[in-house]
Amino acid sequence: MDASEQISEQTAELVLRKAIELLCAHAGFLEVDSRAVNLLARLTASKLTEFGRNCKISNVRRIRGQETAFTIYLSTASSS
């Protein structure tokens, strides 16, 4: 994805907050405090950024023939 295909950070935050509000409504909450939505949005954005970074690192390592960041998770999942 090049820069022309990316959405702004402000738009991403807005979409994420709306998605969290919809998930809360789906879970049965009639009202959601905006501070809670903002906190959940920041936490979710942080985890998604971390996940994306790990995927990128793992892809570079895979191309180089090195062990990836997900090897541990795959080996423990297959042994259980």
Return the pLDDT at 59: 86
Q: How many domains does the chain have?
A: 1
Q: Which residues contact 77 (CB under 8 A, 6 or more apart)?
A: none
* C-alpha distances in Å from residue 18, one per residue of 32, 46, 54: 11, 17, 26
Domain that holds residue 31: 3-79
pTM higher than the cut 0.85: no
CA 31 – CA 76 distance, rounded (Å)? 40
In whole angstroms, give the CA distance from residue 68 to residue 3: 27
Give the CATH number for residue 53: 1.10.20
Nearest to 31, CA basis, from 39, 41, 21: 21
What pLDDT is attached to residue 19?
97
pLDDT along the chain (80 residues), means of 10: 76 94 96 95 92 88 78 56
